[in-house]
């Protein structure tokens, strides 16, 4: 049914575009062409000559002055109307150009203000030294991590709750600095989002702004959005413009702590874990994008090599329905172990630890990275549910994620 609706939408879109092109050709080319009027005049004259003899020149004059003259009067009127339309369009274009110029000036002025604010951000370290500019965020993350270790209780179930508390403590201690920083940053996104630019242009300006942000700043943007200090509008901009795209997953406090439980550490494994996560995210986005453009067949699997340079550990991702995705991990014991030092850890993980790692990836992709704005967790039998397939095959893990409301699973804003 969905496919049929898509085909209908595509058809009517094509009809609309074709009619627009025809109307543009009729208005801008045909009616303004001198050859049209020459051909019409000659054709009508020949018709008259064919049906009337030369003795009726008086009649021809009356015919030409009456019928043909009326036609040319109508054509003249059409040309006048078209001239007014052309002038109005030109006037509108000039107004748009002026509005874009004003937007451009405001955007780069706010960008300059943002850069100045970053330079003025300073924090004193325990060594008595002041850390300013981008180093403020580096030192800030250290402080948040230290605060997390102070606040976290080993009996607690949620690392996320204590990570948020640690961030909020740091924010309160630096409220005036961070408050102004976030207000300016999201004021720029507000300017982009409410401009007269088209979608493609807005994305280009958002990319210019996103390019200014370091990974450490993305850490602060992520945790700030998880607290009461952020508005729903700010979360909307983060999701809409894919602001956290380049935040490595191992920079997240709760993810690092969960990984410690399965003997995966930041010092040894961050590069490989981040690479695997990016591969999974890229593959998922590619599948969903192709499905939405009718270029993907349900049930078709795409594979990812989890251990570089060998095919020993593989992950197959399959969109079974628009609301259901299967992740199937397989291990081929007959294939040699990878020689890449950063990916050898996969051989040391048992079945339960591999399952835990995959679940952490899925949680981050579908829920945490977008603040559960795209996919709501299961509650009262509704929402998105994650299931592990309990099988006794030590070389295989199957996990499915399914929206019980049969709504499409999403990784980005539609």
Which tokens is 408 given?
Answer: 């499409």
| Domain locations along the chain | 2-99, 121-244, 248-414
End-to-end CA separation in angstroms for the chain: 19
What is the average pLDDT across 201-220? 95
Contacts of residue 94, defined as CB under 8 A and 6 or more positions apart, other chains included, come to none
Within 10 angstroms of residue 168's Cβ, the number of other Cβ atoms is: 19
> Which is nearest to 144 in space by CA: 117, 123, 171?
171
Stretch among 35-44, 159-168, 236-245, 255-264 having the lowest mean pLDDT: 35-44
Within 10 angstroms of residue 92's Cβ, the number of other Cβ atoms is: 10
Stretch among 34-48, 76-90, 337-351, 370-384 having the lowest mean pLDDT: 34-48
User: Tell me: the pLDDT tens digits for 178-192?
Assistant: 999 999 999 999 999
Which tokens is 316 given?
Answer: 């197959």
Q: Which residue has better confidence, 41 or 269?
A: 269
Measure the CA–CA gap between 350 and 395, rounded to whole angstroms.
10
Question: Is the model's pTM score more than 0.75?
Answer: yes
Q: Which residue has better confidence, 361 or 76?
A: 361
> Which is nearest to 44 in space by CA: 29, 65, 25, 58?
65
pLDDT at residue 165 above 70? Answer: yes
* Percent of the chain scoring above 70 in pLDDT: 77
Which tokens is 167 given?
Answer: 């961030």
User: Tell me: the pLDDT tens digits for 81-128?
Assistant: 667 666 777 667 777 888 899 999 999 999 999 999 999 999 998 888
What pLDDT sits at residue 71?
64
Stretch among 34-48, 188-202, 333-347, 380-394 having the lowest mean pLDDT: 34-48
Contacts of residue 406, defined as CB under 8 A and 6 or more positions apart, other chains included, come to 321, 322, 323
What pLDDT sits at residue 347?
84
Please give the angle made by the CA atoms of 288, 289 and 294, to the nearest 5 degrees: 95
Contact (Cβ atoms closer than 8 angstroms) between residue 372 and residue 348: no
Which tokens is 301 given?
Answer: 């699997």
pLDDT at residue 264 above 80? Answer: yes
Using alpha carbons, list the distances in angstroms from residue 39 to 52, 150, 357.
20, 89, 76
pLDDT at residue 1 above 50? Answer: no
Measure the CA–CA gap between 412 and 332, rounded to whole angstroms.
34
């Amino acid at each position: 049914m969905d496919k049929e609706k898509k085909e209908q939408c595509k058809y009517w879109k094509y009809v609309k575009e074709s009619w627009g092109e025809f109307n543009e050709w009729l208005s801008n080319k045909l009616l303004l062409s001198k050859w049209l009027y020459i051909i019409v005049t000659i054709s009508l004259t020949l018709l008259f000559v064919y049906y009337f003899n030369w003795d009726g020149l008086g009649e021809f004059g009356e015919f030409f002055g009456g019928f043909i003259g009326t036609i040319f009067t109508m054509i003249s009127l059409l040309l006048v109307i078209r001239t007014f339309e052309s002038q109005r369009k030109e006037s509108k274009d000039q107004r748009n150009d002026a509005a874009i110029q004003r937007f451009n000036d405001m955007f780069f002025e706010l960008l300059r203000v943002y850069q100045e604010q970053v330079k003025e951000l300073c924090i004193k370290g325990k060594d008595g030294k002041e850390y300013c500019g981008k180093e403020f965020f580096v030192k800030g993350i250290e402080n948040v991590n230290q605060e997390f270790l102070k606040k976290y209780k080993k009996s607690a179930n949620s690392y996320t709750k204590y990570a948020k508390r640690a961030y909020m403590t740091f924010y309160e201690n630096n409220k005036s600095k961070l408050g102004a920083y976030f207000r300016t940053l999201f004021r720029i996104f507000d300017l982009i989002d409410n401009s007269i630019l088209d979608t493609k242009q807005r994305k280009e300006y958002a990319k210019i702004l996103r390019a200014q942000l370091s990974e450490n700043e993305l850490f602060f943007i992520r945790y700030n959005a998880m607290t009461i200090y952020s508005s729903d509008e700010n979360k909307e901009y983060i999701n809409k413009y894919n602001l956290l795209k380049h935040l490595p997953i191992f920079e997240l406090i709760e993810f690092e702590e969960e990984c410690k439980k399965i003997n995966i550490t930041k010092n040894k494994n961050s590069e490989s874990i981040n690479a695997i996560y990016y591969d999974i995210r890229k593959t998922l986005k590619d599948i969903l994008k192709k499905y939405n453009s009718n270029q993907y067949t349900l049930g078709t699997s795409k594979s990812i090599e989890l251990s570089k340079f060998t095919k020993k550990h593989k992950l197959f991702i399959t969109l079974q329905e628009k609301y259901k995705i299967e992740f199937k991990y397989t291990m081929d014991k007959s294939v040699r172990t990878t020689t890449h030092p950063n990916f050898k850890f996969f051989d040391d993980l048992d079945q339960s630890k591999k399952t835990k790692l995959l679940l952490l990836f899925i949680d981050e992709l579908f829920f945490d990275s977008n603040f559960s704005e795209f996919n709501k967790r299961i509650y009262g039998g509704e929402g998105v549910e994650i299931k592990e397939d309990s099988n006794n095959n030590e070389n295989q893990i199957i996990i499915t994620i399914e929206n019980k409301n049969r709504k499409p699973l999403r990784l980005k804003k539609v």
